[in-house]
Structure 1
Amino acid sequence: MLQLEKKHYIGEGEIRFCYEHPENLNLCIKIPRPETTREYTNKELLYFKKLSRRNTSKYQYPFYSDFHGEVDTNLGLGQVFDLVRDETTGDISKTLEYYLLKSNEIADERLKSALDDLRQHMIKYKVFTRDLRARNICCKLNKDDSVELIIIDGIGHRDFFPFADRFHYFSKKKVDRTFTKWHFDSLEDQRKFLKKIG
């Protein structure tokens, strides 16, 4: 059983608490909140099982945090995922929300280009999200001065007839709708949305 301590705590969302893996700096462990049902977790893990059958070596970069199984901890059963770190410093990458509201370290042109890349990857490889919030996207800073946007939570969808999983036309429609729903059609719209929700 892995022991998670206060020093391992990274942050939390509406569904789970996130901790650094005590034995692997490139992984994190997500512990569901008490009110989070096992059914919710199982649906997410089923989607990752489907993604695991794909050849991810074709990806230009790993644009979502992948799932690596479950583990017993002193805080309960946790799910293990990739932990995104900046190549430049080795620090845990900050979220897109941070760079949009609290830092001007990355120019908007670079963020917009990275966001366009993320959208195209999601369409091309038919990977979808339920919750495309700026806090669920990390900005990985690379040594070559590039920025990669990596989805760290909310992967999956609830479509009863998943045409988007099979056909490019529907996958593009679905991703475009998701970007519009979560105010990602422009960085200005996203900033306004983030300030509105506080």
Structure 2
Amino acid sequence: MIDLSACKPFASGYNRHCYLHPQDPALCLKVLRPENIEARFQRQAWPKKALGRDRINDNHQEIRAHRQQALRTLISRGREDLIWAHLPRFYGTVETSLGTANVSEFLANADGTPAQTLEHYLRQRGFDQRAQAAVERFCSWLLETGILTRNLLPHNLVIADRRGQPELFLVDGLGAPSVPNRLAAVPAWRKRYITRRIRRFYLRIDWETGDRDRSWAESQKL
């Protein structure tokens, strides 16, 4: 049991807190925020409620996402390094004083501080040449590996320095819903799915760096 009672999260989303492992600062511990999970569950319509709370458990979803066919294929071919080119290394789960945590690589800047999100980078510097090149490399990696994701959102990606250049890492949103995940066995369908995610990603970047005169929900309808 890892005691997190004296620790503060270095980052938080709506569904999870992220902590540095108190015994190993190279690791990140993702812990659920049960009060928000319950609130999210209660807002759902009854047909979705009938599917249970597990479907909105981000830790369980992340574990399943790491078992997707594309990752299993790359591992079987001895190409694990390609997986971790744009994903933080994943080490399973561990029990903490705040519940079960998913354990992954802690992505840091050269000074040891947490790597910033793409969202934060875009607000500070805009979609500059370095960011554009990093996004292009990330999208090419998606197409090369066939790894499935949900919609690519700038706050779910961080920028970390690798070999003297910025690289994007997907820290949340890995995996696809169950139906697309099954259809991904068809190469043409998988490529189409990933291409649509990439196209939507660029639209989101345009919105993030624009004047935001419309909400993201409204912008998607244009």
TM (norm. structure 1) is: 0.82
Amino acid at match of 2:24: N
Q: Note the C-alpha offset of 1:84.
A: 0.8
The aligned residue for residue 28 of structure 1 is 28
String of CA shifts for 1:38-89, please: whole Å, max 9, x gaps: 3434343122134356244452862012321111111111111121112x32
Amino acid at match of 1:75: L
Provide the rounded CA distance (Å) in 1 between the counterparts of 2:6 and 2:185: 40
With 48-57 and 150-159 compared, the bigger mean Cα shift is at 48-57
1:67–1:82 CA contact under 8 A, matched in 2: yes
2:153–2:204 CA contact under 8 A, matched in 1: no
Q: Does 1:3 align with 2:3?
A: yes
The aligned residue for residue 140 of structure 2 is 120
Change (3 A) 1:22 1:166: farther
Q: Does 1:85 align with 2:104?
A: no
The total of aligned residue pairs comes to: 191
1:108–1:187 CA contact under 8 A, matched in 2: no
The aligned residue for residue 179 of structure 1 is 198
The aligned residue for residue 111 of structure 1 is 131
SS of match in other structure, 1:62: coil
The aligned residue for residue 74 of structure 1 is 97
TM (norm. structure 2) is: 0.74
Q: Note the C-alpha offset of 1:107.
A: 6.7
Which protein is bigger by CA-based radius of gyration? 2
1:132 to 141, 152, 156: 152
Q: Which 5+ residue runs of structure 2 have no aligned equivalent?
A: 38-52, 217-222
Q: Note the C-alpha offset of 1:13.
A: 1.0
Across the aligned residues of Structure 1 and Structure 2, the Cα RMSD in angstroms comes to 2.7
Amino acid at match of 1:134: P
Q: Which 5+ residue runs of structure 1 have no aligned equivalent?
A: none
Q: In percent, how many aligned pairs have the same letter?
A: 23
String of CA shifts for 1:99-139, please: whole Å, max 9, x gaps: 101x22x8711101110110111111111212421011000
Higher helix share: 2
